[in-house]
Amino acid sequence: MELEKAFICPHCKNPLSPRGFTGICSRCKFTYEKKDGIWHFLYIPDKKSEFSKNVYDEMHKIPSERIDDGSYEILAAFARGNKTLDIACGDGFIEKLAPETIGVEFSLEGLKKARKKGAKHLVQADAHSLPFKDKAFELAVCAGSLEHFANPLKALKEMARVSTIQILTVHKKLPIPFSNFLRSFILNLKSVKDQPIDFPISMKELEKILTKAKMHIVFKGVWTHPYDFQMLGFKIPKLLQIPSCHFVITTSP
């Protein structure tokens, strides 16, 4: 796809017509540019998201490995042949396997790593303020990131706005009382560094916010990759087999 034709201002949603590698919105004067192969459209009015971005910039400076269970290969297979947007693309694992995918990430350090992996089309932007026209993409993917957004509903509305079909993996809330609080308490007790924003979601909660975002669930199931209970200090075999994520495919009008 011709990416430049899909851009709008992330602040006021005014259509843009980039000429060369720099531009300015005629309505709100938001400025953008393409530098070192990355389009810069970052607009973050939310302080929590700004803090989160800064933390991720530091996290992405540390070498990381992708989960090698075939999940990225499957998501890349969905992406190939479609106009696909990967929201919160991180290090660019999907983009490495499906190079025509458009990767969006608010962490510049993450995008730099994605570019080194061979990603061709990268945009620095916030998931809550995407710089793309309505229905610019046939497919949007968000893998394991919704629970890390400051405002999941707003991010889902943006995802639905720019795409026709959506694929999400979302970390599950453990089916025990006060599970998120207990998880945070144990991580703090063990001095384990976790995500700056981390609120696993139950399927009931996920269905509720998907409905509010006017997204229709076509398929729902689980991603079988297990919870990382060992990080919490648990080594009970049955616990280590519990699937960690919801997997849903949705459509939006």
Asked whether residue 63 carries a pLDDT value surpassing 90, the answer given is: no
* Residue range 114-128: mean pLDDT, rounded: 97
pLDDT of residue 27: 98
Mean pLDDT for all residues in the chain: 89
Percentage of the chain lying above the pLDDT 70 cut: 86
User: Strand 31-35 vs strand 22-24: parallel, antiparallel, or unpaired?
Assistant: antiparallel
Which stretches within 87-234 are classed as H helix?
93-97, 108-116, 152-162, 179-189, 203-212, 229-232
pLDDT of residue 175: 65
Q: How many helices (H) and strands (E) does the chain have?
A: 8, 10
pLDDT of residue 191: 47
Contact 98, 114 (CB under 8 A): no
Q: Where are the domains of the chain?
A: 37-251
Residue 197 sits at the vertex; the CA angle it makes with 195 and 203, to the nearest 5 degrees, is 105
pLDDT of residue 239: 54
171-174 long-range CB contacts below 8 Å, 24 or more apart? 171/144, 171/147, 171/200, 171/201, 171/244, 171/245, 171/246, 172/200, 172/201, 172/202, 172/203, 172/222, 172/243, 172/244, 172/245, 172/246, 173/200, 173/201, 173/202, 173/205, 174/200, 174/227
pLDDT of residue 236: 47
Predicted confidence (pLDDT) per residue in 23-61, tens digit:
999 999 999 999 999 999 999 999 999 999 999 999 999
Predicted confidence (pLDDT) per residue in 194-229, tens digit:
677 888 999 999 999 999 999 999 999 998 877 654
pTM for the model stands at: 0.90
Options 3.20.20.80, 3.40.50.150, 3.20.20.100, 3.40.430.10; CATH of 37-251? 3.40.50.150
CA atoms of 203 and 77, how far apart (whole Å): 25
pLDDT of residue 151: 97
pLDDT of residue 1: 77
Which stretches within the chain are classed as H helix?
47-59, 71-79, 93-97, 108-116, 152-162, 179-189, 203-212, 229-232
Contact 79, 92 (CB under 8 A): no
Q: Which token pair is 62?
A: 């540390």
Amino acid at 183: R
pLDDT of residue 230: 47
Confidence tier at 170 by pLDDT (50, 70, 90): very high
